Amino acid sequence: MRLMTPHLVKPCVKTPKNDAVAADAIPDTVSRPNMRLVPIKSTESHALLAAHRARQAFVKAHSA
């Protein structure tokens, strides 16, 4: 599995946006040699991000 950001696929879409057209553009985009892909995060990384988001929500609620 390889992940890519949607804003990199958008220039490859030639017609108005819908799911089928975007699905056709994805293989063309992935096959480009200089394409930057998004690294897959580990379970520990997801847990750490969830903790940071929860803390941010608590701080926001406390200071509201």
pLDDT single digits (tens) 8-20 = 776 767 767 777 7
Structure confidence at residue 38 (pLDDT): 76
* Dist CA 29 CA 38 (whole Å): 13
Model confidence, pTM:
0.45
| Angle subtended at Cα 13 by Cα 37 and Cα 31, rounded to the nearest 5 degrees | 40
Structure token pair of residue 27: 């293989």
Structure confidence at residue 29 (pLDDT): 75
Structure token pair of residue 7: 């804003």
Task: Give the residue ranges of the chain where pLDDT is below 50.
Answer: none
Structure confidence at residue 1 (pLDDT): 64
Which is nearest to 13 in space by CA: 5, 4, 21? 21
For the chain, what is the radius of gyration of the CA atoms?
Answer: 18
